[in-house]
Amino acid sequence: MLKVEGLTRRYGDITVVDGLSFHVDEGEFVALLGPSGCGKSTSLKMIAGLETPDAGRIELEGKDITHLTPGQRKLAMVFQSYALFPHLKVIDNILFGLQARKVAKDEQKRRLDSVVELVGLQDHLQKKPGQLSGGQCQRVALARAVVAEAKLCLMDEPLSNLDAKLRNEMRSEIRSLQQRLGMSVIYVTHDQVEAMSMADRIVLMNGGKIEQIDVPEGLYNKPQTVFTAQFIGSPPMNIMHSTNERLGVRPEHIEIAEQGRPARVVSCDYHGADTVVLADIGEPEGKSEIIKIRYPGHAMFAAQQSISVHWRAEHEHHFPVNQ
């Protein structure tokens, strides 16, 4: 469906996106994930035609669209800010693009009828955005994208303005909608939970470059770099230093056992289903090395209490020292 090759964007001496290459298959949900400032939104804007790349190529269904205008690309986009017209009713916001392209009235009605039911806006068509909640505004923005029946839908952190409960609900709604319609989606987010729960594949970015492209379980279970290991997972993977390598073990794979490596409890952070125990595995008189242990249930370890920790060899991840 979409092929991006060597996409690069510079602002003066600063390279914001550096040689980005990935593809999106038909009906696939791909997340661009990474910390703030890693170049993911700039990458999306270049695909949309809102930014001009300094190098690279973008193909949509085999056609080079690198230098086409946004309108010529015929993509749908959902913005972080919703980008609704405050003076227009919901129905007019949804149909605005179709009206601008002079789509026939009966075709507009057919698309409108199918989409408002999908996103649950039947009772809000005559309202204006100021009368809606954040979640309802996001549904209007989604409806406008879906009604365009574009080949590819681009979403730029569409849930970041919503509260945690509503974000969870909208994640499920967007994923369900995408699967029912067979939409191809590129979804930009800095939230690893969003990416892991929604995407078929994740493009993890760092410093303008791709760190790793994989399915969610691949990023979690087989991280190729220390950055991936520590960005994916909450709490993040423990990275321990040794002479010839850096050793990674996830907090849930470390057990507090009768025998094992000696450690001292630093603190306990109770989360309900489990407790995150911070422990120091450094030498008593030497440099401290803090690790996190995900302990099931409610742990009652006292600060400075001596414990033993253990993990199995198959749960170890090995990284070069220079990563």
- CA 118 and chain centroid, separation: 23
| 208 pLDDT more than 90 | yes
pLDDT at residue number 78: 87
pTM: predicted TM-score of the whole model, two decimal places: 0.87
- Smallest CA-to-CA distance from 93 within 159, 146, 158 is with 146
Residue with tokens 């550096």: 18
| 55 pLDDT more than 90 | yes
> What are the pLDDT digits (tens) for 265-275?
999 999 889 99
DSSP 180-242: HHT-EEEEEES-HHHHHHH-SEEEEEETTEEEEEE-HHHHHHS-SSHHHHHHSSSSPPEEEE-
pLDDT at residue number 19: 95
pLDDT at residue number 151: 84
Looking at the chain, the whole-number percentage of residues with pLDDT higher than 90 is 62
| 166 pLDDT more than 80 | no
| 207 pLDDT more than 80 | yes
Domains and CATH numbers, the chain: 2-226 (3.40.50.300), 238-319 (2.40.50.140)
pLDDT at residue number 269: 93
> What are the pLDDT digits (tens) for 69-125?
998 898 988 887 778 899 999 999 999 888 888 888 888 888 888 888 778 888 889
- Of the candidate ranges 34-43, 166-175, 265-274, 311-320, the one whose mean pLDDT is the lowest: 166-175
- The predicted model gives 144-156 an average pLDDT of 87
| 232 pLDDT more than 90 | yes
- The predicted model gives 180-205 an average pLDDT of 94
pLDDT at residue number 287: 83
**Residue 319: strand pairing partners:** 246
DSSP 236-269: PPEEEE-SS-EEEE-GGG-EEESSSEEEEEEEEE
pLDDT at residue number 235: 92
**For residue 64, what pLDDT band results from cuts at 50, 70 and 90?**
very high
What are residue 243's phi and psi, to 5 degrees? -65, -45
273 compared with 164, residue with greater pLDDT = 273
Q: Are 279 and 263 in contact (CB under 8 A)?
A: yes
pLDDT at residue number 174: 85
Instruction: Please state, as a whole number, how many other Cβ atoms lie within 10 Å of the Cβ of residue 291.
Output: 23
Q: What is the mean pLDDT of the chain?
A: 91
50 compared with 285, residue with greater pLDDT = 50
| 49 pLDDT more than 80 | yes
Secondary structure of residue 16 in the 3-state scheme: strand
Q: Are 154 and 163 in contact (CB under 8 A)?
A: no
> What are the pLDDT digits (tens) for 275-295?
999 999 987 667 889 999 999
pLDDT at residue number 321: 85
